[in-house]
A and B are shown apart, each in its own frame.
Chain A
Amino acid sequence: EDKVVQSPLSLVVHEGDTVTLNCSYEVTNFRSLLWYKQEKKAPTFLFMLTSSGIEKKSGRLSSILDKKELFSILNITATQTGDSAIYLCAVEASAGGTSYGKLTFGQGTILTVHP
């Protein structure tokens, strides 16, 4: 069974701190790893990672994938109160049968940034 585990489950920091969120996975037929930010309802897409060692960046957020050790990290530098959210990691895998693929989400990391 495919598994995605995130850590820590929750994190409380002050504005300006740097945080690192972890995601480890065990899946068959890995295709990609995705990071999402969820504030209210649906998750908002952040990054898609398919290759090891290539950092993706968007402003203060960056992420990297290690396909040998089966994990990814999401870094947020100079955190702001607006970064407070649940951060979800999801792994896309090929599936057999009639389905095109399967997306398995981790349980999420709740980040709280205090002023």
Chain B
Amino acid sequence: DGGITQSPKYLFRKEGQNVTLSCEQNLNHDAMYWYRQDPGQGLRLIYYSQIVNDFQKGDIAEGYSVSREKKESFPLTVTSAQKNPTAFYLCASSIGGGFKTQYFGPGTRLLVL
């Protein structure tokens, strides 16, 4: 089955800890995106990557880091510098860049202990 997978479904972070959220796609899409969704708000872009080994900051990149070493994978690290990390994180991918039609993964809910 083609699609986007995110893991884990739930993640707990302790104060001062870095955590990494996984995103994998087997759709052969070039572009991948990370969004954050807070209650009652829309999707806000954290980082995006239009091609392997390249990525750009979105609206709210502070406290986050990414890598794009493989086309299929775009992991997001939530660092200890992110002071309010509790949110729902969605990964998406699209055939080309330029923010065309994007397909989302099932999301990861991050909670701070």
Q: Which residues of A contact B (CB under 8 A)?
A: 2, 32, 34, 41-45, 47-48, 88, 92, 95, 97-105
Contact = CB atoms under 8 A, between A and B. Distances in A.
Contacts, number: 67
Interface string B59-101: 1000000000000000000000000000000101000000111
Nearest to A32: B42
B103 A45 contact: no
Max chain B C-beta neighbours (<10 A), residue from A2, A45, A48: A45
A45 B99 contact: no
A48 B38 CA distance: 11
Interface residues of B, number: 27
Contacts of A48: 40-43
A45 B3 CA distance: 25
Interface of A is mostly: strand
Select the residue from A32, A47, A98, A104 with max chain B CB neighbours within 10 A. A98
16 contacts: A34-B42, A42-B48, A45-B59, A48-B42, A48-B43, A98-B3, A98-B5, A99-B3, A100-B4, A100-B104, A100-B106, A101-B90, A102-B101, A102-B103, A103-B43, A105-B100
B104 A97 contact: no
